[in-house]
Chains A and B, each alone.
Chain A
């Protein structure tokens, strides 16, 4: 019985959280796909392959959490911009609360402060 081993564990942990990280980045302002994906891919510890972010963005759009818009770039092809929608903003807010209390609880259990 090895449980969830290394890479599996971190990818499982990331699964439900990554989309809120995207929403959080977009809370700081609109970003176009390449830019958004590159900066998330470059975050140390995220260890996310950039290609898998696009399907996630597509799902966020379908769920109405982000809006997309094509804008011309000064040189080169038009860019697809992602922006946080109102629904996305409130989803981010409730996640932030949930996450903070969940993280604190887990921390306390891990430190042995709580006997579950």
Chain B
């Protein structure tokens, strides 16, 4: 499958293959074979002409639209997949600290709905899910509180006069620039959510799919 010899055409076919996962059985293979034959014909007619391939791909239309015309509907993810995503998000806290998240990881790696790429990203980008942002949120009031320490005391100088070399140092964890703290907070909070949405979409797409074939890495 997917071997026209042209990198752009092949990339399009791989993307179509993925988009057409929701197309039932034989119709899917027929669609892929038809589009592959179409592209082979283009390459046959204008060999070594990337512009011709690009024009042909434009005329074919986006893979998602082609797959949709063949009956691929973005399905809804299974309950199991939704449970997986929820556990990954909040399982670090509920129902049991960490254990819930570990269960989510096990479900994640044993579900056919995701590719290795998804699994690695979901495991590493936000270990323990929303634990980090929640901790951050809880500790934020303490972190911003400042303590003022004054050292030294009024002392008598040899000349008899008194000076007060009191030095007050305002310290605390609040020495992070505010913009940086806000950025970090947003990133830490957004990362799990972004990955969760990504997982959800992928699960929806692979719903109704037959057996997961070796998931191609597709970047079209």
Q: Hey, which bits of chain A sit against chain B, CB under 8 A?
A: 33-34, 37, 41, 49-52, 54-58, 62, 75-77, 79-80
Contact B31 A55 (CB under 8 A): yes
Report the Cα distance A75→B45, complex, angstroms.
10
Decide yes or no whether B143 CB sits under 8 A from chain A: no
Name the interface residues of B26-55: CB closer than 8 Å to any CB of A.
27, 30-31, 34-35, 37-38, 40-42, 44
| Distance between B12 CB and nearest chain A CB, rounded to angstroms | 9
Q: Given the interface contacts A49-B65, A55-B27, A55-B69, does A79 sit within 8 Å of B34 by beta carbon? A: no
Complex Cα gap A55–B23 (Å): 10
Q: Confirm or deny: B59 has a beta carbon within 8 angstroms of a beta carbon on chain A.
A: yes
Residues of A within 8 A of B59 (CB): 41, 49-51
Chain B neighbourhood of A55, CB < 8 A: 27, 31, 66, 69-71
Residues of the B chain whose Cβ atoms lie less than 8 Å from the Cβ of A33: 34, 37-38
- A62→B24 CA distance, assembly (Å): 14
- In the A-B complex, list the 7 residue pairs whose CB atoms are closest, starting with the nearest: A49-B61, A51-B60, A51-B66, A55-B70, A52-B69, A34-B41, A54-B34
The contact of B38 among A54, A58, A62, by CB within 8 Å, is A54
Question: Could you tell me if B38 and A34 are in contact, using CB atoms closer than 8 angstroms?
Answer: yes
Nearest Cβ on chain A to B211's Cβ, whole angstroms: 22
Output the nearest chain A residue to B23 by Cβ-Cβ distance.
Answer: A55
Show the binding face of B for A, using Cβ within 8 Å: 27, 30-31, 34-35, 37-38, 40-42, 44, 59-61, 63, 65-66, 69-71
Q: Are B38 and A50 in contact (CB under 8 A)?
A: yes
What is the CB-to-nearest-CB distance from B140 to chain A, in angstroms, rounded to a whole number?
46
Give the Cβ gap from A72 to chain B, nearest Cβ, in Å: 13
CA distance A79 to B40 in the complex (A): 10
A88 to B70 Cα, complex, angstroms:
20
Knowing A76-B44, A77-B44 touch, does A51 contact B69 (C-beta < 8 A)?
yes
Q: Is the CB of B61 within 8 A of A57?
A: no
User: A48 CA to B211 CA in the complex, in Å?
Assistant: 32
Name the CB-closest residue of B to A78: B37
Distance from A68 Cβ to chain B, minimum over Cβ atoms (Å) = 10
15 A-B pairs with CB atoms under 8 Å apart are: A33-B34, A33-B38, A34-B37, A41-B59, A49-B66, A50-B38, A51-B69, A55-B27, A55-B69, A58-B31, A58-B70, A76-B40, A76-B41, A77-B41, A80-B37
Known: A51-B66, A52-B66. 13 other contacts (CB 8 A): A33-B37, A34-B37, A34-B42, A51-B60, A51-B65, A54-B31, A54-B38, A57-B34, A58-B27, A76-B41, A76-B44, A79-B37, A80-B37
**A52 vs B38: C-alpha distance when bound (angstroms):** 12
Residues from chain B with Cβ under 8 Å of A41 in the complex: 59
Q: Which residue of A lies closest to B68 (CB)?
A: A52
